Structure 1
């Protein structure tokens, strides 16, 4: 590499590039900068890119959004769930507001870090920032495979942390993740006194089986084994738009595929529900031709179409208002409540994890730890209540 200082005060460095495969001639690489070291670095980077087959001309003109579209096409065909694809596309849309019109080859580490910091200042959550970083990483790795970049500007990006306030810490206490016994009783009582159709069955079933809302909505009668008192979980409901466009997809993870034992109360409730469903079919038999007969446990009486998880969430909020409950996380809180019920029944953690379909769930473990600690304290109090007089008598004597 040779360098010379130009009359305008800038430095120009140049080196022989690789031979042209057609003409066999070497093309000189020239780069200018105020600093000699910068000009040298630019020549070196260009030379390395050419030697590695990087298409610098395309990379310096191809917009980020076009590369993102290419990657999304590949991602959609990788076997991920449609709901995951929609979530990823939403993140790509956010990335495009910052990077969309920039050339894929000209986006630097600083550009990415500045984007993350701006999102942080706008009070986006840490989980969303992580999602943005991961998605950007996927896209730039795709660009590397397409010979559009040598490096990945997402490497070593830092996601800032926001210090929590005392109020936030207190609001996130683990006890907010589940219903206390009195809250559960009030909520379930509301399903009977103020509930609409299916409210009682939906929420009793989640509370006493630990099913996810999507698993509940996708249940078919063939999943219920009345002889063995079991429910088989093999799918979940995905219904982003109109319910007629619903899709049954594999559950959240391999561990989510499971068989859940149920007690006689749940079995009897399901038997009554099935009988009521048959009676309803007879009532609306004139609409039988248009009936969506897919054997769903919970379906609309006239059409047979299943319910969405969003519908369940709205019903949950309505009942919370009726019962005077302020824990509005959604039906999932009943699933967590089921974990507390099992823990208080002294079921071991591994069995609980298998029952609710978790391989490694932080919330489940935290609830288990919290409840067991409370049980230990209660055990000490019970001893004091039943045998405290012996202790007192001994020291008073």
Structure 2
């Protein structure tokens, strides 16, 4: 076999090196080509083998890769450095939504304690899988682990493309799951949080009589349309067809550094999120009244008004800028406390409330999903089945009664 095999760190004196007794490791050195700049041969060394046979086997693999053109000279890049380079590249593409970019940064932070000071070439399946196992043992949710796994796969795929590693350690990795016992499954009763119709009426009345400015129109819109809060904050007057009683959902909003003035309008969450929502005369009237008050504010502060056509625009300061999602969250908590309703209700729960009320009206699940802009959503389905459960039981009873009457 081509190559030179030796023990570079042998400490045995003189001729005893032929019969090494100091426990030094074997190494090899082979030619890997010609340096195009100097014309001199390039050599590759590798050590740390327990036996000469191990060194010969590794050298044979390297020679075969050289002959097949698949040899990759893996650099000594640390995971933390490569992950940082990948993140900057990922962020710079400009094709990823800011929220997704933030999520990738969070998932990298989760992997760092287990991989940061390891060389990329030394991370194998066992090492990577152990990181996932440890994160699962810490109690991270399955969805969080999915995000971490997806980010890890993207990083190591890029490493393969850049010839930083020869094999992908994430290829056969998996996300651990905790198997629930029969007792846990039987006792499991996931709480579904939404407002019953009487509770919603109480909340909306409080928003009208005890709410802050714009509270009534904000929560009427959330309750009557089921739109996401980000979609509401991004909504413009041109998106509302007052004659046809329709609202077009075409965008959502992202606020940089939680600043009202640093916002960005983005495409909706998913393809199905772009939709048209039919609305009724009551909501149209509320919107017309709100637009009239907004026009007064616009004229009064026309020299500083941020006139970008936003429906839920600020009217006390930063005139005309779209409302910040965090403000709506705060206002929800305030009204929930005033009405002594379920403290777990958030602005997003108005989507679940919308689902429950439509289900009570015998609107089909698919029609509800289309209205909410969902391709698939477990919570929406759970709310629907929860509300329609009594009707399903009633159907079963009627069916049995029919057969008995034959």
TM-score calculated relative to the size of structure 2: 0.82
Indicate conservation of the 8 Å contact 1:218/1:235, yes or no.
Answer: yes
Query: How far 1:168 sits from its partner (Å)?
Result: 10
Deviation at 1:321, TM superposition (A): 1.7
Q: Is the 8 A contact 1:237 1:308 kept in 2?
A: no
Shift of 1:186: 3.1
Post-superposition Cα deviations, 1:146-188, rounded to whole Å, max 9, x if no partner, equal 0111111122223222356989996862x51432333323332
1:354 and 2:370 matched: yes
Answering whether residue 310 of structure 2 is matched by residue 296 of structure 1, we say: yes
Q: Aligned-pair distance for 1:93?
A: 3.1
- Match in the other structure for 1:72: 87
> Which residue in 2 is equivalent to 1:217?
233
Q: Which residue of 1 aligns with 2:350?
A: 334
1:52 aligns with 2:70: yes
Report the TM-score, using the length of structure 1 for normalisation.
0.84
Question: Aligned match of 2:269 in 252, 255, 261?
Answer: 252
- 2:247 is paired with a residue of what secondary structure? strand
How does 1:67-106 map onto structure 2 within 5 Å? 67-76=82-91, 77=93, 79-106=95-122
Q: Greater helix percent: which structure? A: 1
- Correspondence for 1:239 among 244, 255, 258: 255
**Residues in 2 aligned to 1:325 and 1:37: alpha-carbon distance in whole angstroms:** 74
Q: CA contact under 8 A between 2:193 and 2:344: conserved in structure 1? A: no
Counterpart CA distance in 1 for 2:157 and 2:215 is 47
Does structure 2 retain, via aligned residues, the 8 Å contact 1:31–1:43? Answer: no
Stretch deviating more after TM superposition (319-328 or 334-343): 319-328
The equivalent residue for 1:179 is 195
Alpha-carbon deviations, 1:245-301, whole Å to 9, x = none? 01111110111111110011111111111112122334xx2x422211111111111
Q: Where in structure 1 are there 5+ consecutive unaligned residues?
A: none
Relative to structure 1, the CA distance from residue 306 to residue 112 in structure 2 (aligned partners, 3 Å threshold; closer, same or farther) is same
1:65 to 1:15, Cα distance in 2 relative to 1, 3 A: closer
Paired residue total: 380
CA pair 253-28 structure 1, distance change in 2 beyond 3 A? closer
Do the aligned residues in 2 keep the contact of 1:187 with 1:323 (CA within 8 Å)? yes
Range that drifts further, 345-354 or 160-169: 160-169
Structure 1 CA distance, aligned partners of 2:200 and 2:395?
23
Q: 1:379 to 1:54 in 2, by over 3 A?
A: same
* Equivalent residue number for residue 264 of structure 1: 281
> Which ranges of structure 2 fall in alignment gaps of 5 or more residues?
7-17
Alpha-carbon distance in structure 2 between the residues aligned to 1:311 and 1:373 = 36
Counterparts in 2 of 1:308-327, with a 5 A limit? 308-327=324-343
The structure-2 alpha-carbon separation of the partners of 1:336 and 1:271, relative to structure 1 and needing over 3 Å to count, comes to same
Q: What is the distance in 1 between the residues matched to 2:124 and 2:34?
A: 29
Aligned to 1:158: 174
> Match for residue 11 of structure 2?
none
Give 4+ residue runs of structure 1 displaced > 4 Å after superposition. 1-6, 13-17, 21-26, 35-42, 44-51, 163-172, 378-384
Distance 1:312 1:41 in 2: 66
Q: Distance in 2 between matches of 1:215 and 1:236?
A: 4
Larger CA deviation: 105-114 vs 80-89: 105-114
Moved more, 138-147 or 23-32: 23-32
User: Structure 2 CA distance, aligned partners of 1:46 and 1:126?
Assistant: 40
CA-to-aligned-CA distance 1:186-245 (integer Å, 9 cap, x gap): 332332343212222111211111100000111111111100000011000111421100
CA distance in 1, matches of 2:345, 2:53: 57
Residues 193 and 115 (structure 1), Cα distance of their counterparts in 2 relative to 1, 3 Å cut: same
